[in-house]
Structure 1
Amino acid sequence: MIKVRSLINLLTKNNSNFFTGVPDSVLKELSHSLQKKSKKDHIIATNEGSAVSLGIGHYLSTKKVPCIYMQNSGLSNALNPLISIAHKKVYSIPLILIIGWRGSPRIKDEPQHNVKGKITENILKLLNIKYTIIRSNDDLKKFDKQIKIAKKNSAIVACLIEQGTLEKNKKINKKKDFYKLDKEIFLKTLLETLEKNTKIISSTGYNSRELMYLRNKYQIKKGSDFYMVGGMGHAASVALGYSISSKKKIICIDGDGSFLMHLGSIKTAGSFADNNFKYILLNNNSHDSVGGQNTYANDINFKKLSKGLGFKKFYSIKNDRNLKKNIQKFLKGDALNFLEVKVSNSKIKNLPRPTNLVKIKKVFMK
């Protein structure tokens, strides 16, 4: 294992003191260590492309090379600014990328991670980005040399870090709740309240896994689900695409991190969705499934924002008082409805993951 402090020290010794990125389960020890820094030195970005752009701006201002962290699934979000702004043949802006390598060929992982994991190195090669796979302190020394060369040549350099490489910090698992409503109670009540043919599309992370777990635990058959095991930030678009070609009621269950990642898609839903589209935001003000880092969604006025994005009615739930009645009111509303539910972090241990994804798709499409 590698100590997080060793990695951070390597970066700071190379005069890289500005960090930005999107939290990742592989890199949660890194992002939690960075949270001790000031807001001028560390920014949690809403998506990976924005993180790269923040880094570019920092370099233009200071001439210092920024460090950008992300999961390899988010590397695709970062491609546009990496290629069209920072690339050697465009503005030649040096950047350091720290990439959590889900789906590494050496480590068993979920289907969606295996697909991206197998091509991650090829993507970096296509971008002509030199990289080091960090598994030992010797690899850190190799990465140090690559950083120095990249700085000299005004180029982008990256490292890949696999699950289990960074030494664990036990304090990370002790996540603090920003809100109090138990998410399991809300989701169970929602499932029990559904009309028979309702369709649910749920965002990646704990939301989909909890939904599947609770259906099985309580044997709730009403409605059917499509679990977004990947594609963070795209649940609303998938739900919208389904809703405009169907008369069935479709519910999008999203998270605050996912909502913020591709906020423009919520505006598209607000502009084009019919009344059969119902949007539920489970807001716990954290990236719950990757370590509980702050999303800073707590200071957003979702009532004003949802109205500005085109939703006709806004509903809010923050406790279990009259829970079923409030859910029914939201679901039966004859307008384009937005519901913010202020929930605590997940309390369910050892959540299962969806398997046999093709079967899940076929059942959903019946």
Structure 2
Amino acid sequence: MSLESFNKSEPLTLGVELELQLVNTHDYDLAPYAEDMLRLMLKNPLVGSVVPEMTNSMIEISTDICRSSSEVLGQLTPIRDALVRSADKLNIAVVGGGTHPFQQWHERRIYDKPRFQELSQLYGYLSKQFTIFGQHVHIGCPDADSALLMLHRMSRYIPHFIALSASSPYVQGHDTAFDSARLNSVFAFPLSGRAPCVLKWTEFEKYFDKMTHTGVVKSMKDFYWDIRPKPEFGTIEIRVFDTPLTIERAAALAGFVQSLGAWFMAEQPFVPQEDDYLVYTYNRFQACRFGMEAVYVDPATGNHMPLREHIMRTMDQIAGHAAQHGASGALHLLRSEAHAGQNDARWLRERQREEQLLAEVSRQAALRFRGTPT
């Protein structure tokens, strides 16, 4: 099977997907209400989409094509509001966060859709352990070679994305000591990790042909890479974000991606190379484990510095491009919290320290998602 051709898209346009938790309002454990939610959501004519995910206590919402982070927020807001209304009718709640803090994976049921059933047959218990919740950000690229260049430039900023979005400190009732434990579940899949460092689409097509020849891969969907090309959309898709606790943060993260992309395209600040990836897994681990307190190793110089400091420095570099694309507010939101060492993982831990009950933490997170002060 050959790789589909790369469709043109408007450069720097955005699309955002959010995987969300459905919980009951009795003990705030996950609840198998995806089908009921989808049925109710059909009555709401909205831009974007709402679809099932791997297990039946999850749903995924997505925007249509957006040109700014404020447009992302403008599309996510009515979807969020319709979700909340539908959940209220079912006496359940919708929650952000990269993991549910105390659900037991063996209690999950695979959603009845052919692809999910096939994945369950292939991956066994990993499929149920994939009841984790991420944000995916698509960014438009003018052509296939530009997409690969954008992908490998973005790879240097994977730790920044992880630390800023981290919201999965708890797994099966325990504090994992990770800010993003969610990504540990993704590592288990054989085709996770990062894309091969090629900068020409013809080279990527050769790689894809070799992989399909082995019979291991049938389409781009079979790669669970941190960032992957999406030729049918004319985008690259960044997949390392935990789902934030609020749609405002989700939109701000999209604004950060767009501002970086604008900087790359306007200034061509560096050419990616294979050696960039020498420190890739170390930086990724640091961000997952320590969040804002991580150490970042600069791939170009080998210098070690606090990741938080590199985030601030990066935001200074791209501030002008953020202003041009209406993302200054997005960067301000992320920057002020990064400066304070705050992210959603810290918020969840602070709530748990106060409440000593993860069900109450989930209840407060559900209020936070719907925009109600806790």
Structure 2 length-normalised TM? 0.26
Kindly indicate which of the two structures has a greater share of residues assigned to helix: 2
Structure with the bigger RCO (C-alpha within 8 Å, sep 6+) is 2
When the two structures are superposed, what TM-score results if normalisation uses the length of structure 1? Answer: 0.26
Q: Based on CA coordinates, which of the two structures has the bigger radius of gyration? A: 1
